[in-house]
Amino acid sequence: MVEVLKLRKPIDINGEKVSELPYNFEEMTARDKSDATREFKKSGNMVSVQELDPDYHLYLFAAAVKKANPSIEIEDVLRMSAKDAGKAEAAARDFFFLDSAE
């Protein structure tokens, strides 16, 4: 299911001002999650405890954005404001780690 994060501060993506980012956690595959982890590590980060790492959650969110719209790259997502990033991190954390009671 595609959801949308409304940005408080628009960002430039592919030459356009974007004020919302579609994302889709439901359609992500194990490969998508693995790719997000690889990108996170490639940026010089280490995942210590997945459930508690907001930076890692941001990369998971970026992968969900790419799943909803393949023309948006991780680097595009990482240009969002810190306030918007907090909402994105929370969305990923809630989906992957807080909803795990199922």
> Residue 14, Cα to own-chain centre: how many angstroms?
18
Query: pLDDT tens digit string along 10-54?
Result: 999 999 999 999 999 999 999 999 999 999 999 998 888 888 889
Measure the CA–CA gap between 68 and 3, rounded to whole angstroms. 9
DSSP state of 9: E
Average pLDDT over residues 71-92: 96
Measure the CA–CA gap between 73 and 63, rounded to whole angstroms. 8
Residues 6 or more apart from 85 whose CB is under 8 A from it? 58
- On the CB side of 52, CA atoms within 13 Å amount to 2
Structural domain range at position 8? 3-98
**Could you give the number of structural domains in the chain?**
1
